Structures are given as C-alpha cells and as structure tokens.
Amino acid sequence: MLTQEENDLLCRVGAGTPMGELMRQYWLPIIYDWELEPDGQPQRVKLLGEDMLAWRNTDGVPAFTQNLCPHRGASLYFGRNEEDGLRCAYHGWKFDVDGNCVDMPNEPSTSNFKSKLKITSYKGADAGGVTWIYMGPNQENPPELPKFEWCLLPEEQVKHGHKFIYECNWMQALEGELDSTHAPFLHSRLRPELPRSFGGYNDVKIADFKVVNTEAGITYGAERHQEDGNSYWRTTHFLFPIYGMFPSSPAGCNLSIYVPIDDYYTLHMGVTWHPTKPFEGSRRPTFEGPKEFGAMGSPGPMKPEQKGTFFPNWWPEMSPETDFHMNLEAKKNANYTGIPNGRQQDAALEWSMGPIMDRTREHLGTADATIIRVRRRFIAAAQNFETDGIVPPGVENPQDYRIRSCQAVLAPDMDWLETLDAWHHASTTEYPDPIGAGVPVG
C-alpha cells in the first residue's frame, strides 16, 4: 500500500513532476520509422503530457516539435514539410529540426526577427525500426541510445508485433507486465484439453519469487516446483523506465514497452527478435479481423483513423466502450475472461482499475514482490534525481539493455542466475536447456 503522495509520484509524468523529469533523461521509443516520410505529412503525437508533431525533413532527419506556431498559435500540422523545414500554413514561418526559425516571408528582408525566435524541438533518432525521442535538457549532447539486442540485429530478425493505446495510466500497464502470477488465471483456458487458441493452462498457480536488483532495473525468477524434484523457472526483467521483458522461448525474445502519453493514456508496443534467425512474413504489426479466438499477442483490428487526436491510427476496436469484445459463451465454456486475446485481456483489467489506480487501497501479498521492488526503485530514483541530481539507472550505461529473458527447467542444485547468465546477457545464442527437459508448454 502506498501513500497518495507516493502514488502521485509514480504516476504523474508532466513537466516539472519528479517522474516526468526522470523520464525526460531517457531516449524513449514513440513511433515506427516507416511512419515518417522525408518531406511527408507531420504526425500528431503526445508524450509525457506534451502535444507534438513528429516529422522527417528532406534529408530524412527525424524531429519532434511543438504543435503550435509561435506567431499566431496556428497548428503546424496543417503546414508544409518541405526543403528541410516545417512551414506554417498561416503566414509561412518556417522551422528546422532544431526549432530554429529559418524563414519569415511576411517580414521585411532587413528584419532579423527570425534569428531571435526558436520553438520547442526535441532530438529524434532511428534504431531497430523505431524512431526515438529525447526530451531531456541536453539536446546538443544527448546520451547514447539504449543498446537493446533488437536494435543491433539485421531487420529481418526483428518483428514489431503490436502497437496500440491503453486507456489507463502507464504505471498500472507496466505493473501488469511484471505480474507473473496473473497468467494462469487471466490468460488461461478452462480445461487443458481445449485448443491453445483459448489460452495457456498451468495447474501450478503458485511460484516462489527471487528478485534481484540490476544496474538498469531488476531481474526476477519465478520458480515453480515440479513433481520430479526439478523446478520450472520463468525469468523476467524490468528495465528503466518503461520496459518489461516477459519470458522468451526458442522461437524468439520479447520486449513490452509502455510509453506514457500523459497521466491517463499509454502507448503500448511489443517487439520480438531472434538472435540468429530471420522471421517469415510481415515484420510490421498486423491487425487480424474478428474471429472466435486466437492471435493472443494481437490487439485485433484498429478503429478508423481518429483524426484530430494523437497517434490517430493506433486506437483498437477492442476497447472500454465495447467491453473488449467479451464473448460470454466463450467465458462460460472455454476461456477465463471471454476476451479474445492476451494483450486486450491485460488492457481490460488495467483499464478497470480507473484512469489512475488508487494504490492507497490495495492489499499486496508475497506474489507481488516484483511490483513492490519496482515501485521502491522508481520512488528512490525519482527522489534521488530531484534532490541530488543523481542520474537515473541505465541512462549512462546503454549496454545494460542488451539482455534477454527465458524459461527453463533446472535441477535442484542449479543456481538460476549463474546457470542462465550467458543467455540473459546475450553472450550465447543457444537457448538454455541445461538438463535436456525442454521448455514446458502450457
């Protein structure tokens, strides 16, 4: 249970808030690189409570600038992206990717007014098929991008599986990712003999948790004891400030991303990669139409373009106003919730907590050890940065992000961290199977 002050610290991300200022020290993923064309139409985006336009200049350099022109307050969304600058449609004032005013065609040629004017503009960079934004104070010399393995691999070994908007605060969305014991309930089928399209199945609902601090977050192992004396381990990572890495499989490694749009909306993205093998088919998000069940990682089809708002193409049809397409017949006979896929099962429960969850009224147990540890680390990091200027975890050590998760069966005498270390730190491409038991299938 947290105090109201602690809950506000965790959840509020606007400029000047402790968590908002912490977030602004990191590069954050915000849009796919293919969504921005050189000299193309700017895209409305929002991050940490700031409305911006994302665009790419003639040379392909990405930029994120304030939406409103400083002259008369008209939206630059309706302007022209041309000749290495974004030009307002109202009076032609033009701005480059650094926010400098480079042209004022309605002012006399003798005027030097444009040299005195600069708009808010943030650095952008491309890596791993994503365009990243840095909103921190050091725009001239930002930190390095995090060195995720998927950002360093050939593009055919990386798949961007989903992207959509959660209608809730970013912290409750992230905490859902780090909650390992909800899967045998929320994401399960009712009986083991049913098709796997109705969800996973695991008789063992209880796990022993081992939580370890790392330089960039935490690593935790969930141990489930088996009848043969061995243990089934699922390892997961939290990486500052917005990443959860649920257990991978031999088919690929996974990362979930929870970008705080503002205090009430979250942009959720998912990426899968393989250290050695290319993926077949599309490596961009695909939106499957309605079907009985399946596509457990997909958010389903998107609504038509939501013109006039941020991220207009990423609002899912499965949403609060449709009860997330809950199928009562499926809920009765086959699936724990009747909601068709895993990501929207998460979204429904996290939305149901309210726009910002009231953590002063919750009651946590031993199974919530990871959530408790992550909250403590967040609170400490935000307070240390605010009061003493201590750089938040991971900002100065981008190599700490080259990490993987896994699931494996270990013998009783095996130390989980030591046995799985080479895989966790991407120093081997051989998926861990130390006793030849294979990876359990739910």
* 74 in the same domain as 206: no
Q: C-alpha angle 183/185/190, rounded to 5°?
A: 120
User: And the tokens for 413?
Assistant: 């005498």
The number of domains in the chain is 2
* 224 in the same domain as 127: no
What pLDDT is attached to residue 441?
55
Which parts of the chain sit beneath pLDDT 50? 295-296, 442
What pLDDT is attached to residue 295?
45
Specify the DSSP class assigned to residue 420: H
* 184 in the same domain as 114: no
| Peptide bond connecting 260 to the previous residue in cis, omega within 30 degrees of 0 | no
What pLDDT is attached to residue 198?
87
Alpha carbon of 81 to those of 52, 54, 59, 87: distances in Å?
A: 15, 11, 12, 6
Q: Is 3 helix (H, G, I), strand (E, B) or coil?
A: coil
DSSP calls for 10-55: HH--STTSHHHHHHTTSEEEEEEGGG--BT---EEEEETTEEEEEE
Strand-pairing partners, residue 159, are 272
* 209 in the same domain as 129: no
What pLDDT is attached to residue 183?
86
Strand-pairing partners, residue 407, are 234
* 255 in the same domain as 126: no
- Residue 170 CA to residue 398 CA, distance in Å, equals 23
227 in any annotated domain: yes
Neighbours of 231 (CB within 10 A): 20
- Residue 181 CA to residue 196 CA, distance in Å, equals 19
* 376 in the same domain as 229: yes
380 in any annotated domain: yes
% residues pLDDT > 70 (the chain): 97
What pLDDT is attached to residue 288?
63
Q: At what angle do helices 170-178 and 342-352 cross, to 10 degrees?
A: 130
Taking 3-state DSSP, the helix, strand and coil percentages for the chain, each rounded to the nearest 5, stand at 25, 25, 50
* 158 in the same domain as 95: no
Question: Do residues 7 and 19 make contact, with C-beta atoms less than 8 angstroms apart?
Answer: no
User: And the tokens for 230?
Assistant: 């061995």
* 162 in the same domain as 72: no
58 in any annotated domain: yes
Closest among 153, 357, 377, 382 to 255, alpha carbons compared? 153
| Averaged pLDDT score across all residues of the chain | 93
* 339 in the same domain as 235: yes
* 263 in the same domain as 352: yes
* 123 in the same domain as 179: no
Question: Do residues 80 and 91 make contact, with C-beta atoms less than 8 angstroms apart?
Answer: no
Question: Do residues 143 and 395 make contact, with C-beta atoms less than 8 angstroms apart?
Answer: yes
Strand-pairing partners, residue 45, are 52
Q: Which domain holds residue 130?
A: 27-134
Cα(first)–Cα(last) distance of the chain, in Å?
32
What CATH number corresponds to the domain at position 117?
2.102.10.10
What CATH number corresponds to the domain at position 258?
3.90.380
* 362 in the same domain as 213: yes
Q: Are strands 80-82 and 62-66 parallel, antiparallel or unpaired?
A: unpaired
Alpha carbon of 404 to those of 245, 302, 433: distances in Å?
A: 7, 30, 15
Q: At what angle do helices 369-388 and 170-178 cross, to 10 degrees?
A: 140
User: And the tokens for 64?
Assistant: 């994120």
Helices (H), 353-389: 369-388
Q: Write 297-303 long-range contacts (CB < 8 A, 24+).
A: 297/161, 297/162, 297/270, 297/341, 297/342, 297/343, 298/161, 298/162, 298/341, 298/343, 299/162, 299/164, 299/341, 299/343, 299/344, 299/347, 300/325, 300/340, 300/341, 300/344, 302/164
148 in any annotated domain: no
